Structure 1
Amino acid sequence: MNKCVITGRLTKDPELKFVPGSGKAVANFTLAVDRKFKQEGQQSADFIPVVVWGKQAESTANYMRKGSQLSVAGKIQTRNYESKDGTRIYVTEVVADEVQFLEWGNKQQSTTPQGYDSKYVSNTSGGFNNNSFDEDITPVDDEIPF
């Protein structure tokens, strides 16, 4: 069985491309994954290349930035190709089936996803972040009548 799950931080912003002809989205990025065992207080990490396709690729490129923490589930895949100078290049990477955002974008900004107004995003206590609503939205009590 070929399945892996890794959690780490982006080393740089994801690179989004579209396949010519089909227009399918593909994002490439590298995750820095901490090693469990450290040598005498020194922190070490592995830098693992990841490829993700489709809508997940677009979401990852749009919402994640350098330093963001992600969890990726997928399979390890190897491939090779010939470079312009004629040498054979071998690549090992994780092809993601699932990408989970463990934090949103930049830490200095709010944790509200881009494109959403923070007053409509539920907080951890189950309520709303503030009580100002647009005219066409009626607030609903937290209690369900049944």
Structure 2
Amino acid sequence: MNHVSLIGRLTKNPELKYTTSGAAVASGTIAVNRDFTNANGERESDFINFVIWRKAAENFVNMTAKGSQVGLEGSWQTRSYENQQGQRVYVSELVVSNFTLVETKEQTEQRKGQSAQQGNGGFNTAPQQNNFNGRQAPQQGGFSTNDMYGKDLPPLNDDDLPF
């Protein structure tokens, strides 16, 4: 099974391009904190390249900016090509099939403005959560009553949960 789920911050604004056939493709990099600290007590990050295709790519670019915290789901892909010097170059990247906005573009800009004034290192103490299509997700319960296809789901009661 090839399924990858990551949460991180965009290292720069995602780049949107179009193929010769007109398909949209967005690419970028997210910084993902590791679960552990190094010998100096600091968290290190991995920088993961990703691509998103078609309408999702256009939506992603319109709804995010450098520093936005996002969740990405998809599959890991390694491809190769021959560069101008005739050398084989290998590229590994996440091919995104679904994304979640942990904060919107506007929230990212607001956080950047606040961090410049407050000096909190660019981190929001209580990020707002948004689902993949840009609609505000409920802040209590952490779920939406609409699934990703827009169908209504029955309400979920805490008594229905097995834990």
TM-score interval, smaller chain: 0.7 to 0.9
Tell me the amino acid that sits aligned with residue 60 of structure 1.
F
In the alignment, structure 1 residue 74 sits paired with structure 2 residue 95:
no
In the alignment, structure 1 residue 28 sits paired with structure 2 residue 27:
yes
- Provide the C-alpha distance between the structure 2 equivalents of 1:29 and 1:101, rounded to a whole number of angstroms: 15
Structure 1 length-normalised TM: 0.72
Tell me the amino acid that sits aligned with residue 24 of structure 2.
A
Higher helix share: 2
Cα 1:122–1:67 shift into 2, 3 Å = closer
The offset of 1:123, in angstroms, is 8.8
Q: Deviations over 1:59-115 (max 9, x none)?
A: 111110000000011000000111111111100000001011110113317x8x9xx
Number of equivalent positions:
115
In the alignment, structure 1 residue 10 sits paired with structure 2 residue 10:
yes
- Asked which structure has the greater RCO (Cα within 8 Å, sep 6+), the reply is 1
Tell me the amino acid that sits aligned with residue 107 of structure 1.
E
Q: Name the residue aligned to 1:118.
A: none
Query: Which SS does the other structure have where 1:59 is aligned?
Result: helix
Query: Which SS does the other structure have where 1:91 is aligned?
Result: strand
- Provide the C-alpha distance between the structure 2 equivalents of 1:23 and 1:59, rounded to a whole number of angstroms: 16
Query: Which SS does the other structure have where 2:35 is aligned?
Result: coil
Structure 2 length-normalised TM: 0.65
Tell me the amino acid that sits aligned with residue 37 of structure 2.
K
Q: Name the residue aligned to 2:118.
A: none
Q: Name the residue aligned to 1:90.
A: 90
Query: Which SS does the other structure have where 1:17 is aligned?
Result: strand
Cα 1:86–1:99 shift into 2, 3 Å = same
Tell me the amino acid that sits aligned with residue 18 of structure 2.
F
Over the aligned positions, Cα root-mean-square deviation in angstroms equals 2.2
Tell me the amino acid that sits aligned with residue 74 of structure 1.
G
Question: Which aligned pairs between 1:101-140 and structure 2 lie closer than 5 A?
Answer: 101-105=101-105, 106-108=108-110
In the alignment, structure 1 residue 63 sits paired with structure 2 residue 88:
no
Runs of 4+ in 1 over 2 A off after TM superposition: 121-125
Q: Name the residue aligned to 1:45.
A: 45
In structure 2, stretches of 5+ residues that fail to align are: 112-127, 131-135, 141-163
Instruction: Please identify the structure whose Cα radius of gyration is greater.
Output: 1
